[in-house]
A and B are shown apart, each in its own frame.
Chain A
């Protein structure tokens, strides 16, 4: 029983050491089975976790590290490895205006998708966190977009946001507004792409917020009601502070995902390279274009991947520090029994 962490209130009848059924067997046999049993106990835990670690090392960790190696060499999709060039690939990438354009686009799309998404998801979750009729129906209803694949979403919204005879422009026409060049204009295309991301993920995040809201102790609301707080006041003074850990979690996940947008932009038009002016090209699409598109330059592509990796890590850390600061400077946090993210 050496492997087992002892639990409180463990039955007193538990026999210590090997089971009593082994005693009548011959002595040598006991020795052998016991030794075998001990190896079984010692090695099994490692054996069970090894598939994950071996496969992760091969398909996750190694490629990520090897990206750094590729990025300091001349390396071509067709020609293979060339000579060592130091940081030349990084310098080349940073000198390309398209890279900076792609980076700006990525941040613009990211902000346009994450901020409204979190706000709408929290509002919807607050609506769902009531004594609704057919609660499961509404929950499933908001989750439908999650099972539509991003490439399909992109095709559909590409048409809805068509520059001519598109549904959205028709709607704008009804309320007397001029049609928008959803593909031609830089900012408008970012709005269209962010809408696709929001469409697919808002419902998913709503359910996560809903779960967090249901975990809020109901006594807090009762206390707030006694103190005379209205519904809106309850929402801002009880619900939002209580689900802060979840908000942080969603923001961090949205950051990691939002900086790697690819599917939606790849299918937003026929060419899939971010528009005539690269007005909606994202960094991952740029990486794709450098490595598999016209340049077929793996060295530079790897440099782009590493730069993006560092950006994501830095933003993740900044995110973490800011949110920690917010949660520690908040006077209510001291009374909160739950741990932060």
Chain B
């Protein structure tokens, strides 16, 4: 990870991207002479992996098949037909236009919540991470330990006072109630601290300071660009986490102003007799993240693996 960031600063961002890609693909300098190098994995390995991938995709395939069938067919057979057909799109249209589930509003809300939270988490985490990693101040050590300790605390158990608080200030049913509690993340601060302490050389900060840049200018023009790869991954994770979040939104939001996970519950409540429609809806709700995964899945994989080595 650090060498990618160094590459970004020495050889330009294009070279850094290439280096990151090589690393993500496991063809880095270490992986190339991996202990599998002598032995190419045999067909057993590929069979097991292929089976795993098929199992991973099966539930999504299942939603498409049920979405293409009628409720009568579903009631009689576990897999009513083997291939999805065009009737699926009628169901999609029905869901999107239905008054019962508020799909378009939910989609908009989910985008607003996830984007806002991802942006705020990245900004606040990078600020704090820069401070912890590169600046010296009294109390730095204990405060960082505090941040790390809070990662193990199940804060969602504080929902009752949170609900009381939200109803006091009249935020029940409003998006702020979901956004504000999610604006900061201990994991994010820890992640950015780890990354910046390796990726940002002191010399760069010193150079900016010598040139007369204020602290915030130094952060903006030196730390923030250096933090970009880690920030992108943190944004991606936060986005997925918010997009799939159900517990707190289901308590504080309602049917008139839902997010997408709440739509799933509304589908279940309103259309329980029509599994065809329910499953079409479940697929629709899953689709946006699948598209993002198709584009950025490589980065997500790299992010999880880098986080593992650091964490």
Contacts and interface: CB of A to CB of B under 8 A. Distances in A.
A146 interface: yes
Given A148-B60, A160-B59, A302-B160, A45 B135 contact: yes
Given A48-B130, A146-B240, A167-B79, A152 B282 contact: yes
Nearest to A165: B78
A52 B125 contact: yes
Interface string A40-57: 111011101101110110
A263 B158 CA distance: 17
Most chain B C-beta atoms within 10 Å of own C-beta, residue among A4, A249, A256: A4
Interface in B20-37: 24-27, 30-31, 33-37
A169 B222 CA distance: 59
Given A64-B157, A246-B308, A252-B152, A298 B56 contact: no
Contacts of A306: 157
Interface string A5-43: 101001100110001011000000000000001001110
Interface stretch (B2-10, B86-94, B226-234, B241-249): B241-249
B235 interface: no
A136 B34 contact: no
Contacts of B39: 130-131
Contacts of B275: 159
A49 B192 CA distance: 12
Given A140-B301, A156-B62, A267-B264, A51 B156 contact: no
A309 to B, nearest CB: 5
Contact of B159 (A11, A63, A157, A272): A63
Interface in A136-170: 136, 138-153, 155-157, 159-160, 162, 165-167, 169-170
B48 A127 contact: yes
A322 to B, nearest CB: 16
Nearest to B292: A147
B143 interface: yes
A306 B161 CA distance: 12
A211 B23 CA distance: 11
Nearest to B202: A7
A56 B34 contact: no
Interface stretch (A97-105, A214-222, A329-337): A214-222
Interface residues on A, range: 35 or more
Interface in A211-265: 211-212, 214-215, 218, 221-222, 234, 246, 249, 252, 256, 259-260, 262-263
A146 B215 CA distance: 39
Given A130-B36, A144-B293, A60 B150 contact: yes
Nearest to B130: A48
Contacts of A10: 202-203
Contacts of B292: 147
Given A140-B297, A208-B305, A249-B311, A147 B216 contact: no
Interface in B285-311: 285-286, 289-290, 292-293, 297-298, 300-301, 304-309, 311
A132 B34 CA distance: 11
Nearest to B27: A135
A66 B158 contact: yes
B49 A15 contact: no
A191 interface: no
Given A19-B211, A291-B160, A292-B251, A11 B203 contact: yes
Contacts of B155: 59-60, 63-64
Given A22-B212, A208-B307, 11 more contacts: A4-B206, A45-B131, A55-B183, A63-B160, A128-B49, A131-B40, A141-B53, A142-B56, A208-B305, A214-B26, A270-B272
7 A-B pairs with least C-beta separation: A63-B158, A130-B36, A141-B53, A149-B244, A66-B161, A211-B305, A44-B215
Interface of A: 1-5, 7, 10-11, 14-15, 19, 21-22, 37, 40-42, 44-46, 48-49, 51-53, 55-56, 59-64, 66-67, 69-70, 124, 127-132, 135-136, 138-153, 155-157, 159-160, 162, 165-167, 169-170, 199, 203-204, 207-212, 214-215, 218, 221-222, 234, 246, 249, 252, 256, 259-260, 262-263, 266-267, 270, 272, 284, 288, 291-292, 298, 301-302, 305-306, 308-309, 312, 316
Interface of B: 24-27, 30-31, 33-37, 39-41, 45, 48-49, 52-53, 56-57, 59-60, 62-63, 66, 74-79, 124-125, 127-128, 130-132, 134-137, 140, 143, 147, 150, 152-165, 180-181, 183-184, 186, 189, 201-203, 205-206, 209-212, 214-216, 219, 240, 243-244, 246-247, 250-251, 260-261, 264-265, 267-269, 272, 275, 278-279, 282, 285-286, 289-290, 292-293, 297-298, 300-301, 304-309, 311
16 contacts: A3-B136, A7-B203, A49-B128, A56-B184, A64-B153, A69-B161, A131-B36, A143-B293, A144-B56, A152-B285, A165-B74, A165-B75, A199-B59, A203-B52, A204-B304, A246-B308
